Amino acid sequence: MSDAVIVARQLAKTYRTPFRRKRVEALRGVSFEVQRGEVFGFLGPNGAGKTTAIRCLMGLCAITGGSADILGAPVPSRAARQRLGFLPEQPYFYDYLTVGELLDLGGRLFGMAGADRRRRADELIARVGLNHARGQNLKKFSKGMMQRAGLALALINDPDLVVLDEPMSGLDPVGRKEVRDLILELRDQGKTVFFSSHILSDVESISDRVAIVVGGVIQDVGRPRDLVSHTLLGTEVGLRLGDDATADDRAAIAAAAEKVRDSAGELLVSLAAGADVDAFLALARTHGGRVLNVTPRYQTLEDLFVRRVEAARAARGVPREEAGT
Amino acid sequence: MIGRIWAIALNTFREAARIRVLYGILVLVVGANLLAVVAGKMSMGEQARVARDFGLAGISLFGSLTAIFLGVFLLYSEIQRRTIYAIVSKPIARWEFVVGKYAGMVLVLTVLVALFAAAMAGLLALQGLAITPAVGKAIALAWCEVVTVAAIAVFFSAFSSPFLSGIFALALFAIGRVTPDLRAAVATSQDGWIRAVARGALAIVPDLHLFSVSGETVDGAAVSVHGGFVTWGYVASAAGHGLLWSAALLVIACVIFRRRDFV
């Protein structure tokens, strides 16, 4: 029996723009499964359909094709939402409430008893580091504090599944690290985390599996290390030339490389995948170069992501300058 | 279910209590009552009549306008500010959310009507005038009207913008207040179109005139808050009319709201 917590089968979402009634296909047959206990990253550029897919799964908008189950219950249904916690993208909450009152409201909606609500709220406020702001209205919260309040609200019912829509968006590096740590902590507690992001490093560093969605279609699903090929793409060499190096020395090095960039007195040299690195290093030394580092470059999730995005855009005839729209 | 509806109602009450416009309306109502005192003193022996009429008209008019304002604003702002994302993703049915919002508005409007009535009673007392049972019944009828108007506004805000909802709700409020004229048009107009339009309006608009009958004829007898007024049985019957309309409007609003996409 499958231990899938989220099952999406050929999810489709089509809507019409308000005035011109133009038909927009936001999701075009999205299928994936999220297994119990894993951190699943939902990766895609802006406008790829990540948020639409999440909103469909959360019951915020109607699915126009396909179907989905959450924790064994069909979407949309109250049963599906009973054991999940959700953090919307750029969350906005009732700004006249304190974080404690917000969590109390959330707890009431889950039917939690008063004592349980207070105990859980106290735990979560401490856990997300908002004890110092307990007495403040949310109106006075910074973006990062609001995000943390939203995370606390998403966890008020001690959910089995936590769905986070762009949880690191707009956060500073410290805030992003705190969110990453929280996601890993949730995984350690046996919870399933499904989160969307377009920040590749975040997704790659904490996800057990990822799905790449572009143009409302899933392009790849799998473990990050399985998705990328282990073929050598090239080698990066860092060089420092001596003070007596001439223009001819530079020209000789450049002629042997695929690409050369000059950065603060150092040459960053890119060699093609098939290049003879030893021969190049010998050549560089002959021309007065001191080798600082040699880094083989394999395909990364970013390479795959960019390739998928560009391929999807090329297929739709979208020019490069419209990237990210 | 009750707990979730109550949670939304309580939150709506908190939200509304922070709307400064409501305090402005309260000041306006107190001002209208003060004006009634002044106008009463200038009238020849009609002090009580003027004070009560002004006070009750203030409750009905300002209460209904407040109901329209809250009805069109509170539901829409949840969507516009996206606060609704964090709520409807919880195990709450959409209809529970709509009913909770409406219940919260009823709470707010009840407090406001009570404050309006207290202001009127206080100013009547200053003039040595008492709140009579007739005035009590008129206040109860005004409250029924106000909560019915709130249901009208919530109904429109389930599918249209605040501006349009406000216009539609105001139009229905105005038409609902002139149902005797519409009935007269149906009975006496020579123009078939006018009769058809009046008949159609009577069918689709709550009879708000039922809640404001002082100075009118009810069941063939003249009624007035200054003399013989309607019975509590009439008040209950009018409340039943308002309740049925409110329930019907909320059911339709819930059905529409259930189908809405929050994208």
* CATH number where A236 lies: 3.30.70.100
A325 domain residue, yes or no: no
- Whether residue B125 is predicted with pLDDT greater than 90 in this model: the reply is no
| Residue partners of A210: CB distance under 8 A and separation at least 6 | A40, A41, A42, A43, A203, A204, A220, A221, A222, A223, A224, A227, A301
- Over chain A, what is the mean pLDDT? 87
Report how many Cβ contacts below 8 Å link chain A to chain B. 77
Identify whether residues A182 and A273 lie together within a single domain.
Answer: no
Q: What whole-number percentage of chain A has pLDDT above 70?
A: 97
A19 to chain B, any CB pair closer than 8 A? The answer is no
* pLDDT at residue A125, rounded to an integer: 94
Identify whether residues A160 and A209 lie together within a single domain.
Answer: yes
Identify whether residues A74 and A214 lie together within a single domain.
Answer: yes
* pLDDT at residue A2, rounded to an integer: 64
* pLDDT at residue A271, rounded to an integer: 92
Q: Do B91 and A109 touch (CB under 8 A)?
A: yes
A271 domain residue, yes or no: yes
* pLDDT at residue A320, rounded to an integer: 53
Identify whether residues A177 and A240 lie together within a single domain.
Answer: no
A317 domain residue, yes or no: no
Identify whether residues A137 and A63 lie together within a single domain.
Answer: yes
* pLDDT at residue A324, rounded to an integer: 39
Q: Report the number of distinct structural domains present in chain A.
A: 2
pLDDT in tens, B182-238: 888 888 888 888 899 999 989 889 999 888 877 777 676 777 767 777 788 888 999
- CB contacts, 8 Å: B92 with chain A: 78, 109
Tell me how far CA of residue A231 lies from CA of A227, A280, A306, in angstroms. Answer: 12, 20, 17
Residue B142 token pair: 């005004």
A154 domain residue, yes or no: yes
Report CA Rg, chain A.
25
pLDDT in tens, A121-131: 999 999 888 98
Identify whether residues A190 and A291 lie together within a single domain.
Answer: no
Identify whether residues A19 and A90 lie together within a single domain.
Answer: yes
A127 domain residue, yes or no: yes
In the predicted model, what is the mean pLDDT of residues A195-214? 87
* pLDDT at residue B44, rounded to an integer: 67
Q: How far apart are CA B150 and CA B172, in angstroms?
A: 11
* pLDDT at residue A251, rounded to an integer: 87
A313 domain residue, yes or no: no
Q: Which of A172-176, A205-209, B150-154 has the highest mean pLDDT?
A: B150-154
Q: Which residues of B touch A (CB under 8 A)?
A: 3-4, 6-7, 11, 14-15, 18, 81-83, 85-93, 259, 261-263
Confidence of residue B92 (pLDDT cuts 50, 70, 90): very high
More confident residue, B92 or A309: B92
Domain boundaries, chain B: 2-258
Identify whether residues A218 and A252 lie together within a single domain.
Answer: no
Sort B218 into a burial class: Cβ within 10 Å, 0-12 / 13-18 / 19+.
middle
In the predicted model, what is the mean pLDDT of residues A162-176? 87
Identify whether residues A61 and A205 lie together within a single domain.
Answer: yes
Identify whether residues A184 and A116 lie together within a single domain.
Answer: yes
Q: What whole-number percentage of chain B has pLDDT above 70?
A: 96
State the residue range of the domain holding A205: 4-224
The residue behind tokens 């009580």 is B48
* Closest alpha carbon within chain B to A80: B91
Identify whether residues A66 and A211 lie together within a single domain.
Answer: yes
For helices B94-126 and B47-80, give the axis angle rounded to 10 degrees: 160
Q: How far apart are CA A163 and CA A154, in angstroms?
A: 8
Angle at A33 between CA A27 and CA A34, to 5 degrees: 115
pLDDT in tens, A251-265: 888 888 888 888 777
Confidence of residue B31 (pLDDT cuts 50, 70, 90): confident
Which DSSP letter does residue A137 get? Answer: B
Residue A288 φ then ψ, to 5°: 85, 15
Q: What whole-number percentage of chain A has pLDDT above 90?
A: 39
Is residue A111 classed as helix, strand or coil in its secondary structure?
coil
* pLDDT at residue B45, rounded to an integer: 67
More confident residue, B48 or B254: B254
- Whether residue B170 is predicted with pLDDT greater than 50 in this model: the reply is yes
Q: Do B4 and A111 touch (CB under 8 A)?
A: yes
- Whether residue A323 is predicted with pLDDT greater than 50 in this model: the reply is no
A315 domain residue, yes or no: no
Q: Do B82 and A58 touch (CB under 8 A)?
A: no
Angle at A81 between CA A51 and CA A15, to 5 degrees: 35
CA A316 to chain centre: 24
Residue B123 token pair: 């100013």
- Whether residue A319 is predicted with pLDDT greater than 60 in this model: the reply is no
pLDDT in tens, B138-149: 899 999 999 999
This model of the complex carries an ipTM of 0.80
Task: Identify which of B212, B143, B171 has the alpha carbon closest to the alpha carbon of residue B72.
Answer: B171
| Residue partners of B51: CB distance under 8 A and separation at least 6 | B33, B36, B37, B40, B120, B123, B124, B127, B129
Contact B115, B27 (CB under 8 A): no
Tell me how far CA of residue B149 lies from CA of A325, B64, B116, B152, in angstroms. Answer: 44, 6, 17, 5
Identify whether residues A20 and A163 lie together within a single domain.
Answer: yes
A307 domain residue, yes or no: no
- Whether residue A21 is predicted with pLDDT greater than 60 in this model: the reply is yes
Which DSSP letter does residue B229 get? Answer: -
